[in-house]
Amino acid sequence: MSFTSISDKDFSDDGLIVLIEGDNPQKPWFNALKWQREEFTKALQYGSMKSMCFPGNYEISKVFEKDGFKYRFVIFNDWNPCFMINLTTKKIREVKYIEINKTKFGFFEDEYFLSNVGLSRDDIYKYNEGRPGF
């Protein structure tokens, strides 16, 4: 898979790309299906403040069903590594996720930064125009 193959339908509502371990050595990872992304995002509790102090050792999601199969996710250390378990077949697949959201280019009112980054204030403002972020 190349990044040119990623389209809007591959993103969850939170801007995550979720990859599921495959069985084919030629394609070891595949884009998660919509239902897999949705269930994984629920299990991950992405955007919550679940590990404010110390990460938990593991989190086990609720069992859910899809097409006659029962599944659950196991997430270690609150964020990674992650696994999807097919409880019907006992198959375990690793899950990888990447947050891909556009953000603004960090801007510092620091002359050293501006002189060394090679951009003017106007260049940075132009790039950041209309982009979400901080």
Task: State pLDDT tens for residues 52-66.
Answer: 667 778 999 999 999
87 and 106 belong to one structural domain = no
Task: State pLDDT tens for residues 37-50.
Answer: 999 989 988 656 55
Distance CA 25, CA 27 (A): 5
42 and 78 belong to one structural domain = yes
Report the SS3 class of residue 74. Answer: strand
pLDDT recorded at residue 121: 87
The count of domains in the chain is 2
Range of the domain at 122: 102-134
7 and 40 belong to one structural domain = yes
Residue 109, both tokens: 């009112």
